[in-house]
């Protein structure tokens, strides 16, 4: 079951300024939630976001697929969950957000990240992979 | 050629507060650019965004696929171009953003929109389609 | 001592997408933190933000003074504290944000809020004041 | 007359994602407009924002006073105008935003900027002042 694959969960509360004129969270804000979740995961693993860039490696989003199921509104709390796999140089983050109150799926996203070197070339990401080895399925 | 299909182009300048700590436009901001482009298109067609909601129809993003090719930075100007097609109740916006200076493709997105009624049911979108008939290919 | 006046404290962690190209939290983001704090306070008092607007009263910011002392960066956690007073129709929120780690003052803000009626007139705010009576000093 | 002092005007259109759940531009967004205006001014003067930071000088906002008069909504276009003066090491930007349609004043802001050196000390700002000499009144 897909749900079993989750390796990290972050609880996030909706902030009212994230609502748009429909009174629901604007679709772009979910990318913030998803990024915040990835950074919190990486930080928990002892890999602060800044240290990667000091090594000259910049993780960049290459592709994002996101399905919007249920909108979030004022007062809602979400559980942002993820698991990941590696496909060559690509790190694939599978990220789902659920409404805490009733478990409804809010968004389902597949986010492809690659590590860029300073000169713009794609890095194999072996160092990053080594640090997250226990979570990775190399596909 | 795909480029021939574009029916609308909006020029947008990067604002410095849209940059993240890497000095490039944050990935979530592109969803703002894409939404802004759709709203500008709809407005040009004489369909102000607000009027749809007054009729009780709320266009919502159901799915977004976005490929990130070239990052934008401070001072960049982009050309945000789109064409659309209809598949049943779904309006598919094909949106590409190019760097104005050199024509490099910045992002390529496919955005699926549906019209929701007040009670949460999906509307066929016939009214919206009628207003945009000359641009639509019903697939 | 001013510090004794605080009636509410909210802990907020910086999210990396809130950083600008200097690597510090953008000055506009602090207004989000301050608003989020006010809404969390009002909510704790059993006055969800939405209910005020359903009664036709919309609290709006009339004036904001904000001093920026110490910038926040990636990984920082803040304590956002406030006390309030009433001056006629105006609710004055005194809001200070401190860095949790070392107690350094980050920003100090004075935010003036008034309640608008649907017709755009300023409401005396007596209902709101009644609900927050125990915190208010009528100046 | 204060209006005569304006040395720079930028036209900015409201983007729908800048609206909050009240259907008006969120109060934090005006700080984005104001910053965008300052950067556009500095850029027009041939001082791209990035070049200052390459010299090791980072202009930072020290204090912001902002009065909110008339809210902006979907479809509105604003004229963002400014003049500036220098008080010792402080550059004081006087920034007013007007609704283009009817000239109504939207916000009125006084923004204090100082130039920080890499080591965190405040720079006198003489270089910046020299570049903007013809606009400055040294108070």
For residue D74, what is the domain's CATH number? 3.10.129.10
Q: What is the mean pLDDT of residues D72-97?
A: 95
Q: Which member of C17, C43, C49 has the closest CB to residue A35? A: C17
Q: DSSP letters along B56-83, please?
A: T-EEEEEEEEEEE-S--BTT-EEEEEEE
Q: DSSP letters along D28-41, please?
A: THHHHHHHHHHHHH
pLDDT at residue B34, as a whole number: 97
Residues of chain B found within 8 Å of residue A62, distances taken between Cβ atoms = 67-68
Residues of chain D found within 8 Å of residue B76, distances taken between Cβ atoms = none
- Report CA A60 to chain centroid distance, whole Å: 12
pLDDT at C139 over 60: no
pLDDT at residue B1, as a whole number: 45
pLDDT at B79 over 50: yes
pLDDT at B48 over 60: yes
Residues of chain A found within 8 Å of residue C35, distances taken between Cβ atoms = 16-17
Cα torsion through C43, C49, C55, C59, rounded to 10: 120
Q: Which residues of D10-19 are buried (b: 16+ CB within 10 A; e: fewer)?
A: bebebbbbbb
pLDDT at A75 over 60: yes
Residue of D20, A21, D17, D26 whose CA lies nearest to B38: D17
pLDDT at residue D137, as a whole number: 66
| CB pairs A-C closer than 8 Å | 33
Q: What is the mean pLDDT of residues C59-82?
A: 95
Residue of B27, D55, B24, D58 whose CA lies nearest to A34: B27
The average confidence (pLDDT) of chain C is 88
- C-alpha distance from B27 to closest chain C C-alpha (Å): 9
CB B82 within 8 A of CB B41: yes
| CB pairs A-D closer than 8 Å | 24
- What is the token pair recorded at B72? 């934008």
Contacting chains of A (3 CB pairs or more, <8 Å) are B, C, D
pLDDT at residue B120, as a whole number: 78
CB D59 within 8 A of CB D108: no
- C-alpha distance from D4 to closest chain C C-alpha (Å): 24
Residue of chain B whose Cα is closest to the Cα of D17: B32
Residues of chain C found within 8 Å of residue B32, distances taken between Cβ atoms = none
Q: Which member of B17, B21, B28 has the closest CB to residue C23? A: B21
Q: What is the mean pLDDT of residues C104-111?
A: 98
The verdict on a CB contact (< 8 Å) between A21 and D21 is yes
CB B8 within 8 A of CB B82: yes
CB A36 within 8 A of CB C17: yes
The verdict on a CB contact (< 8 Å) between D27 and C64 is yes
pLDDT at A76 over 80: yes
Q: How confident is the model at residue B57 (pLDDT cuts 50, 70, 90)?
A: confident
In terms of pLDDT, which residue wins out, C131 or C74? C74
Q: What is the mean pLDDT of residues C111-137?
A: 83
Residues of chain C found within 8 Å of residue D62, distances taken between Cβ atoms = 67-68
pLDDT at residue B133, as a whole number: 82
Residues of chain B found within 8 Å of residue C26, distances taken between Cβ atoms = 17
Cross-strand bridge partners of residue C65: C110, D65
The number of folded domains in chain B is 1
Residues of chain D found within 8 Å of residue B15, distances taken between Cβ atoms = 32, 36, 39
In 10 A of CB C108, how many CB atoms? 17
The average confidence (pLDDT) of chain D is 88
For an interface test with A, give the residue of C12, C16, C53, C73 to mutate (most A CBs within 10 A). C16
Share of chain D above pLDDT 70, in %: 91
CB B80 within 8 A of CB B39: no
pLDDT at B112 over 90: yes
Cα B106 to Cα A67, B12, B20, C109: the distances in Å are: 22, 13, 16, 39
- C-alpha distance from C68 to closest chain B C-alpha (Å): 17
List all residues 6 or more positions away from B1 whose beta carbon is below 8 Å from its beta carbon.
Answer: none
pLDDT at residue B22, as a whole number: 83
Query: What sign has the CA pseudo-torsion B39, D109, D67, D5?
Result: negative
pLDDT at A16 over 80: yes
The verdict on a CB contact (< 8 Å) between A63 and B68 is yes
Residue of chain D whose Cα is closest to the Cα of A74: D21
This complex has an ipTM of 0.88
The verdict on a CB contact (< 8 Å) between C48 and A15 is no
The verdict on a CB contact (< 8 Å) between A75 and C43 is yes
- Which residue is it, tokens 């050629």? B1
Lowest mean pLDDT among B103-107, C78-82, D15-19: D15-19
CB B67 within 8 A of CB A62: yes
pLDDT at residue C50, as a whole number: 63
pLDDT at residue A112, as a whole number: 97
pLDDT at D66 over 50: yes
Question: Residue D103 sits in which domain range?
Answer: 2-135
Residue of chain B whose Cα is closest to the Cα of A110: B65
List all residues 6 or more positions away from C1 whose beta carbon is below 8 Å from its beta carbon.
Answer: none
Whole-prediction pTM: 0.88
In terms of pLDDT, which residue wins out, A105 or A132? A105
- Report CA D15 to chain centroid distance, whole Å: 19
List all residues 6 or more positions away from C85 whose beta carbon is below 8 Å from its beta carbon.
Answer: C91, C92, C94, C136, C137, C138, C139
pLDDT at A62 over 70: yes
Length of chain D: 139
pLDDT at residue B38, as a whole number: 94
pLDDT at residue D82, as a whole number: 96
pLDDT at residue B93, as a whole number: 96
Task: Pick the most confident of A120-124, B54-58, D17-21.
Answer: D17-21
- What is the token pair recorded at C75? 């990984």
pLDDT at residue D139, as a whole number: 52
């Amino acid at each position: 079951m897909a749900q079993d694959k989750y390796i990290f969960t972050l609880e996030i509360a909706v902030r009212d300024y994230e609502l748009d004129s429909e009174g629901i969270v604007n679709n772009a804000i979910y990318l913030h939630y998803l990024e915040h979740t990835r950074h919190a995961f990486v930080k928990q693993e002892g890999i602060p976001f800044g240290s990667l860039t000091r090594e000259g490696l910049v993780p960049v989003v290459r592709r994002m697929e996101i399905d919007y199921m249920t909108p979030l509104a004022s007062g809602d709390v979400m559980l942002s969950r993820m698991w990941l796999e590696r496909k060559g140089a690509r790190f694939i983050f599978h990220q789902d957000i659920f409404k805490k109150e009733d478990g409804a799926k809010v968004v389902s996203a597949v986010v492809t990240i690659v590590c860029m070197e300073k000169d713009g070339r794609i890095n194999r990401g072996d160092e990053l992979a080594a640090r997250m080895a226990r979570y990775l399925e190399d596909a």
